[in-house]
Structure 1
Amino acid sequence: MVSITKDADEKEISALRASLNAVDRQLHQVAKDMERAQIRDYIELLNRPFRLIWRNFLSGTARGVGIALGFTVFAATILYVLRLLGALNLPIIGDFVADLVRVVQAQLEGKMY
């Protein structure tokens, strides 16, 4: 009789250990997922609004400078290509491009507002 209850207790203990091991694995998985999602960094930013504002200001400034530089390079490339097309003296396109280049050069050399 004693051995039957002892076997039952050991089965319950082993089932309890297996259950605790499963909970432990799930808890480690949740911790890894939270670390991967960087929840801690997000909460720190919410608790420090000045830091959040500063980061957003810096990222907006960098984005604006990048857009300005990119547009400048793009516009310079387009003007260069238009000059080359104007030098080809194509009947319709050449006149249009020449007028466009003249207008742009007049603006560059003209009055500064």
Structure 2
Amino acid sequence: MPNKKSIIPESEEEKLNVVYRLTVRIAEELEQARIAEYTQLLHRPFRLIMLNLLSGAARGVGVAIGFTFFAATIIYVLQVLGALNLPIIGDYIADIVRIVQRQLELKTY
């Protein structure tokens, strides 16, 4: 009985090995991309909606907390600068306050 190498020419066997390696690589990449989990999620629209609502709420809370820390830091820095009583920064802040007051006086609701 002839062995496998004598039945399949060397070049065809190499081609099969290349195709096999490419197929295995594509399967691994699809597994890493979690395509199967995504398609299962698409078959359950209620779960998809709930996950999107939950992620949106988490993003919103994260933005709110981040903005709060950012604004608190800016206010703290302005208070420190105001306590130093620097003439240039004090004049700049006074100009901003005057501009805001004028805008409030001009708006009649």
Taking structure 1 as the reference length, what is the TM-score of the superposition?
Answer: 0.66
User: What fraction of aligned residue pairs are identical, expressed as a percent?
Assistant: 55
Corresponding residue for residue 111 of structure 1? none
Corresponding residue for residue 105 of structure 2? none
User: Could you say if the C-alpha distance between residues 53 and 60 of structure 1 is closer, same or farther in structure 2, counting changes exceeding 3 Å?
Assistant: same
Alpha-carbon contact 1:46-1:52 (below 8 Å) kept: yes
12, 15, 29: which one pairs with 1:33? 29
How many residue pairs match? The answer is 94
2:42 corresponds to 1:46: yes
Rg larger in 1 or in 2? 1
* Distance (Å, rounded) in 2 between the aligned partners of 1:61 and 1:10: 62
Taking structure 2 as the reference length, what is the TM-score of the superposition?
Answer: 0.68
SS at match of 2:8: helix
Corresponding residue for residue 78 of structure 1? 74
Corresponding residue for residue 3 of structure 1? none
* Distance (Å, rounded) in 1 between the aligned partners of 2:53 and 2:19: 43
Alpha-carbon displacement from aligned partner over 1:33-64 (angstroms, at most 9, x marks no partner)? 21122111110111111111111111111100
2:59 corresponds to 1:63: yes
* Distance (Å, rounded) in 2 between the aligned partners of 1:20 and 1:71: 58
Corresponding residue for residue 9 of structure 2? 15
* Distance (Å, rounded) in 2 between the aligned partners of 1:91 and 1:21: 78
Cα RMSD over matched residues? 3.0
Runs of 5+ consecutive residues of structure 1 not aligned to the other structure: 1-5, 101-113
SS at match of 2:9: helix
